[in-house]
Amino acid sequence: MGFLVESTPLSWEQALPKLKYVRDHGIEQFINVFFEAKGIKGDLLKYGDEVEYQLVKLDGHESDPKRRPKISLRSPEVVQCLHLIEAHGRSHGLSEADMCAWMPEYGRWMLEGTPGKPFEGITALTKVEDNMRLRRSRLLAHLLPDEISPTLACFPLLGVGEFWHCPDPVEVLTTGGPVARSKYVPDEVTFPHQRFKTLTQNIRERRGERVRIERPKFVDEKTDLSRPKIDADAMCFGMGCSALQVTFQAANLGESRHLYDHLAVLTPIMMALTAATPYLRGWLQAEDVRWSIVAESVDDRTAAERGVEQNSIGDPRLAGNGVKRLRKARYGGIDCYISPYTGTYEQAATEMAEAHNDFPMQFEQHHFDRLALAGIDTVLARHVAHLFCRDPLVIFEDRIQLNDRADVDHWENIQSTNWQSVRWKPPHPERGKLDVSSERHIGWRVEFRSMELQMTDFENAAFTVFVVLISRVLLTLELNLYVPISKLEENMRTAHKMNAVTEAEFWFRKNLLPNSLVRQIDAKVNKRANNIKSSCNNEVGQTRSTSHGTGSSSSLSSEIGAASNTAKNDNAASTRAATDMNTSFNPISEDDEEGVDQMFRENIDIPDAELYEKMTIREILLGKDCAASKESGVKSSSSSPNLCGGQGLPGTSTSSSGCHFPGLIPLCRIYLDFIGVDSVTAQKINKYLDFIVARAKGDLPTNAQWIREFIRNHKSYKQDSRVPPDTAYDLLMKAKRIGEGEEQCKELLGDFFVDRCYPASNPFVFDQAADPISKRSVTSSMLDKFFATSPGPQQRSTNVGDGTAAAAAEPRDHEVVEITMETEVEELRNDLRRASPGGPMSPTIGPASSVTTSNLSTSTSGGPTGTRRLSPGGPGAPAAPDNFAPSGRTVDTSITFASPATLPKPSCNEPCSTTNFVEARKRDMLEGYLQRAKIRRDHALRHALRKKREKMQQYASEVEALQRDIRTSEGVAASALPKGLSANMLVEASTDFSNRQSYRISMSPSALSRAVSQEAPRDRH
C-alpha cells in the first residue's frame, strides 16, 4: 500500500515546516518525470490485478456456542515467509510468470498479492483466475491450522470487543493508544511499518480531532433506532477493508489520459456490481459498499476546510493555510477529466473535457502557473495542481533534500495519498526511459480502484477480465462515455445504496459510438438491406454463429471494420497487432473537417436531457430497450445487438425513443468476434461475461446481498441489526469453503463452478505441535496413516498428553521453524534416543507379546544367537554401521529383537496385538531416515571439501605465478619495457583484473621480460 521507505518519519510538528518544500518540489519532480517519459510510444498492453487478503484466527470449534473469529496479527511473519517461498522458486528455475509478489497492507492482519509478472495480450486473460488461485494456494500454505483467509471485503467484528489475536502472548493490546486515540481499536493492529502509524497519527493531528465515520444503520424488526448511525473513529475501519484493483499499461501518454477519463465513468457501475460490505463494526448497515467508510476514515481536512466553522487566519504552513474549502476528502471519485484529445483532434477534445468539468477545482495558483510555464497543457496542469492542494502526510527525515531530476519521492508522497477511484500513474524516470522491449520498462499506467473484493477467484477474475476488455473496446471503437463530473459524483453516491445493482439508476450517456461511424454503418447496412429481396428481409442482420460463440454479429463486425478508413499510426498499429488487443479504429479521415466538427463539437451545446439519461446497470451493460431480452446479453444470441439507436436492423435509427446504444457486454462480444480470438479463450471470456450478465439482471446476488441474507437467516441473529460472534464465525467459515472450492454455492454463483484450491507445498516450514516430542508425534501420525492402524486407548492418551478431551479438541498452536540438515539429523537422533527400551516407542518385543514376523530386511551381527540388526534401507540394503551420529557424537543403534523361532505362539485366550510391532516398524523407518540423512550429509560435506581443495589448488597456482612474475619484474628496468606498451594498456589490464579477479589477464611480466630480452640485442646493434 502506497510508498514504503525504510527510514524514520517526522512527527507532525516536525513535518509542518517542511510541508511547503515537499509540495513545491513535488511539482518539480512531476515536471521532470513528465518530460522524461512524454515520448514513450508503442508500449504493449500489460495489466495486473491486486488482491488484498486478510488473516483470521478461529477461536473455538464449529459446534462451540461461544465460538468467535478474531483477526490474526501475523501478516508481517506471513509476508516474510511468502517472500522466502518466492525466492526459493526463483532460485530453482521458476519463471517470473510463475511468481507472485507480496506486499504489506495497512492492517497487521492484511497483505496484498499481485502477479509476479504483468499479463500481456488477450490470451493471458485466461490466466488471471489461475494466478489468483496460485496466490491463494501459497497463502494457505503459511496459515496455521486454526487460521483461515477468506476473501471478504471487511472483517465483520472489527472494533467489537477483543477482536484480535496477537501471536506474542506477552504483548498486551489496549484501545485508546497515542496514535489513533480510538476507543474501539488498539494501535498495534496497524502494520508495524512506520509509514502506516505515521499516516494514522498525522491525519488525526492535521484534522485536529479523531476521524469520524458515520454510516446509516440497517433497520430490522428489533433495531434500536435511538442511534440510527453506526459510528467508528479510526483509520483502521476504512483501510482495513479489502479491494480488487486492476492496473493497465497504455501505449502512450495520450492513451493513458483517455483511459483515465472514460474508465472513471464506469467506477460507480463496477462498485455496485461488486458490492460486498453490508456491515460495519458488528452492525448491518443500510449500504452495500465500503467507499464512504474509507473516505471518512482518512479525512484529514480541518474544520474550516470541511465548512464546519469559519477561520480566516489558518496556518500558513498548511496547503491553502488550512482554511480553503475542500469539497471532499482525499479518498473519493475523480475531480476532473484530464484527456486533451481523442485521436488527433486535440483542440476539439479539450473543449469536450472542459465542458464536462463542471465543478470548481481547488489548487494553489503558483503551482498551476509553474506547470503551465513548463509547457504542460491546461487540462493536466489543473489536475496535478489540484493533487497538491493536499499536504504530504508522511515525510522521512533523510528523504527531504533530493535530486528532483532523479528522485520522485515528493511526487509519489502526494500522489499515493490521493486515493481516487481511478489513478493516473506516470512511470519512474529511470524505468520509463528504458527500451520498451526491456523487462524492467514501465510506461504510462492507469489504475482502476473502485471494485470490492469478491468471495471467489472466479468472481474476481470475471470482473478483472471485464475491465481489461472494456478498456480495449473504449480504444478500439472510440466510445464516448463522458458525463459531467457532477453527475459522476451523483452516480458514486447512488452506488452505495442497498441493492443498487438491480434497483438504482445511474446517469449515463445515450450515444456511445462516434456519429461518423454510425453514419457509415447506417449507409452500408441500409444499402445492403435495400438490395435484398423482400422475401429475405427477415434474415438480414441475424447473428451468424461463430466458431467460438461470442454472440456478436460477424457481418456487423465486418461493417465496423470496413468503417475504419486507416490506422491512426502505422507503427502503433503494427505493434499493437502483436497483442491482439489493441486494434484501433479511425472512423473518419483526418482531412474531413466536417467529420471532426460533427464528432467532437456538435454535442457540447446540446442540453443535458438530450445527451444523458438515467439507466439501470442492466440497461447499461445489455443495451437500452434490449435489456429485457435474454438474447442481447448471452453468447447464443439470435439477433444482433442494436448499435446505433434503431429498433430494427443494426445501424438503423428509425426511432428516437428506441435503443440508444447496444450496451457494453454486446460491444465486448463484437470486439472479440472482430479480432478473432481462439475458441478456448472466447469460451472462458464468455463464461465471465455471462456471469456478469446474470448479476446485472438480478439472477445472481452480489456478495453484499448474499452476506446480509446469510446473517439475517442465521439462528443466532435476533433481528436487531447486530452481527453475533458465532454468526460471524459461520459466515467466515462458509466464505472460506466457497472461496477454496470446497463447497459450491448455487445461491451465490448459480451453475458457475469454482475450482478446488489446496495449500501449496512449503519446504521451509514444519508444523511443530505443542507435544514436547513434536517431531516424533507428527512423524508417528504420518506413519499411522501409512499403516492405516487405529491406535489403542493408551496410544491416544499418549498423543494427546495430559490435557482433557475438550482441550484436545482445540486446535494446537504451531510454530514455523526453518529446517536444515543439521537440525533435522539432530532432532531425529533425539527421537531415537527417546525411543529407548521401555519408552513409548520401545523396539523390544517381550516374550509376553504375540506378533507376526515381518519381512524386515535384516543382517546377522556378531551378537548372540537370535540377535538381528535392522537394515534402514529396506530389503537388499546394507545394515546400518555401528555407532554413527552427526557432529562426531556416537549413538548405539544396535536394536535387538527376539528371534521369530523363540517367540511364543499366541494363546486362544490372549488377544493378538500388533502395537509393539508397529512401534518397532516406526523405529525401523526412523532409523533408516537417519541413515539416509547422514549419507546425504556426508556426500554434501565431501562435495564441499572437494570444491574447497580445487579452489585452494587454483589459488596456490596463482600465488606461485604471482611470485614468479614479481621476481621477474624486479629484474627488469622500467626503461626496458616495450615501446608498444601504453598507459591505456595498463589501465585496461588493471580494470580487467578488477572485474575478473584473476591475474592472468594480458601480457604477464614474465612475457614482458621475454619480449624485452628479444628487443635488447636489436637495440645494442
Q: Is 492 left (phi over 0), alpha (psi -120 to 50) or beta?
A: alpha
Amino acid at 538: N
Distance separating alpha carbons of residues 150 and 732, to the nearest angstrom? 6
Q: Are residues 484 and 556 in the same domain?
A: no
Q: Is the dihedral of CA 82, 83, 86, 88 positive or negative?
A: negative
Q: Which of 459, 491, 523 finishes a domain?
A: 491
CA dist 280 and 293 (Å) reads 9
C-alpha cell at position 655: 426511432
Classified as helix, coil or strand, 212 is coil
Q: Is 14 exposed, middle or buried (0-12, 13-18, 19+ CB in 10 A)?
A: exposed
Cβ within 8 Å of residue 915, ≥6 positions away: 791, 792, 795
C-beta of residue 704 within 8 angstroms of C-beta of residue 459: no
Find where cell 528532483 sits.
404
Same-domain check for residues 394 and 526:
no
CA distance 911 to 263: 77
Answer for the pair 870, 924: CB distance below 8 angstroms, yes or no.
yes
Q: Whole domain around residue 808: which residue ranges? A: 774-940
Nearest to 416 by CA among 80, 133, 2, 81: 2
CA–CA distance from 726 to each of 81, 154, 445, 711 (Å)?
31, 17, 44, 10
Choosing from 883, 917, 940, the residue where a domain stops is: 940
φ/ψ (deg, to 5) at 933: -65, -40
Residues 252 and 279 in one domain: yes
- How remote is the C-alpha of 469 from its chain's centroid? 19
Is 18 within a domain? yes
- CB of 447 closer than 8 Å to CB of 247: yes
Question: In a 3-state reduction of DSSP, which class is residue 92?
Answer: coil
Domain-ending residue, one of 652, 677, 702:
677
On whether residue 247 sits in a domain, the answer given is yes
Q: Are 150 and 735 in contact (CB under 8 A)?
A: yes
| Residue 263 main-chain phi, psi, to 5 deg | -70, -30
| φ/ψ of residue 339, rounded to 5 | -80, 125
Residue listed under C-alpha cell 473518419: 588
Strands 46-54 vs 243-249: parallel, antiparallel or unpaired = antiparallel
Do 432 and 564 fall within a single domain? no
In a domain, 950, yes or no: no
Q: How far is Cα 141 from Cα 761, in angstroms, rounded to an integer?
A: 7
Given this model, what pLDDT does residue 610 score? 76
Pair (156, 253) in one structural domain = yes
Cα dihedral 711→717→722→723 (10° resolution): -50
Angle of helix 703-712 relative to helix 725-739, nearest 10 degrees, comes to: 140
CATH of the domain at 428: 3.30.590.50
Listed residue (387, 388, 234, 247) closest to 299, CA to CA: 234
* Residue pair 239/153 in contact by the 8 Å Cβ criterion: no
Q: Smallest Cα–Cα separation from 631: which of 685, 684, 690?
A: 690
Q: Mind giving me the DSSP string for 417-485? A: T--BSEEEEPPPHHHHTS-TTSTT----EEEEEEEEPPSSHHHHHHHHHHHHHHHHHHHHTT------H
Whether residue 232 is contained in a domain is answered as yes
Of 915, 932, 793, whose CA–CA distance to 846 is shortest? 915
Q: Please give the radius of gyration of the chain, using alpha carbons only, rounded to the nearest integer.
A: 36
Identify whether the C-beta of residue 22 lies closer than 8 Å to the C-beta of residue 392. Answer: yes
Rounded CA-CA distance 372/353 in Å is 18
- Residue 949 inside a domain? The answer is no
pLDDT at 210: 95
**Residues 173 and 279 both lie in one domain:** yes
Residue in the structure block whose three cell numbers are 504542460: 376
Residues 61 and 146: beta-carbon distance below 8 Å: no
Q: Is residue 956 part of a domain?
A: no
Instruction: Convert the pLDDT of each residue in 759-809 to its tens digit.
Output: 998 877 554 443 434 444 444 444 454 444 444 433 433 333 443 333 334
Residue 280 pairs in a beta bridge with 283
Q: For the segment 966-993, what is each residue's pLDDT rounded down to a tens digit? A: 777 666 555 554 555 555 555 555 555 4
Q: Are residues 329 and 478 in the same domain?
A: yes
Distances (CA, A) of 699 to 504, 693, 695, 739: 16, 9, 6, 20
* Residues 6 or more apart whose Cβ sits within 8 Å of residue 753: 458, 744
Domain count, the chain: 4
Report residues of the chain scoring pLDDT below 70: 1-4, 341-351, 515-609, 625-661, 765-919, 921-922, 925, 929, 969-1021
For residues 448 and 514, state if they share a domain: no
CB-facing half-sphere around the CA of 543: CA atoms within 13 A: 24
50: nearest Cα among 446, 449, 396: 449
Residue 852 lies in a domain: yes
Question: Is-contact 426 250, C-beta < 8 A?
Answer: no
| C-alpha–C-alpha distance, residues 415 and 424, integer Å | 9
721 occurs within a structural domain: no
Same domain, 913 and 991: no
Tell me the C-alpha distance between 957 and 962, whole Å: 9
Return the closest-CA partner of residue 48 out of 115, 95, 94: 115
Same structural domain for residues 861 and 926? yes
**Residues 486 and 518 reside in one and the same domain:** no
Distance, in Å, from the CA atom of 511 to the CA atom of 613, rounded to the nearest integer, reads 10
Say if residue 480 is in the same domain as residue 577.
Answer: no
